[in-house]
Amino acid sequence: MSLSSFRDLRVWQEAMKLTAEIYRCTANFPRHELYGLSHQIRRAAISVPSNIAEGKGHRSDKEFTHFLFHARGSLLEMQTQLMIAEELQYLSKEEGKCLLARAEGVGRALSGLINSLLEKAA
């Protein structure tokens, strides 16, 4: 496993940008959603770069891959929650489309990294 920092990973950098954008957009959710959907989306968003960083700190590519799968699961959870927020009109169509596109980009980067680690292990 490479000794580079998790901060050097493009997927982590993109996940961090997405998380910041999620926070900005959910700040405009209705007050009654503070501990509901807003909180859930934020937790899922935070989980993506956090799992990437935590996995990078483990000893093996196998362990790193395990955490990348967790990050991908959190990303899919967040995408579902964003679709719900858009359906409830807590997000505009434009905001929803932008966030989902950014999330898809992070998902492609995660899948690419996972695939490269699995191929390396084979």
pLDDT digits (tens, 9 = 90+) for 27-62: 999 999 989 999 999 999 999 999 999 999 998 999
Query: Can you give the pLDDT at residue 122?
Result: 81
pLDDT in tens, 85-97: 999 999 999 999 9
Q: Which helix (H) or strand (E) holds 79?
A: helix 61-87
Q: What are the residue boundaries of the structural domains of the chain, listed by start?
A: 6-121
Q: Which are the contacts of 74, defined by CB distance < 8 A and separation ≥ 6? A: 44, 45, 47, 48, 51
Phi, psi of 121 (to 5 degrees): -75, -25
Q: Which CATH superfamily is domain 6-121 in?
A: 23S rRNA-intervening sequence (1.20.1440.60)
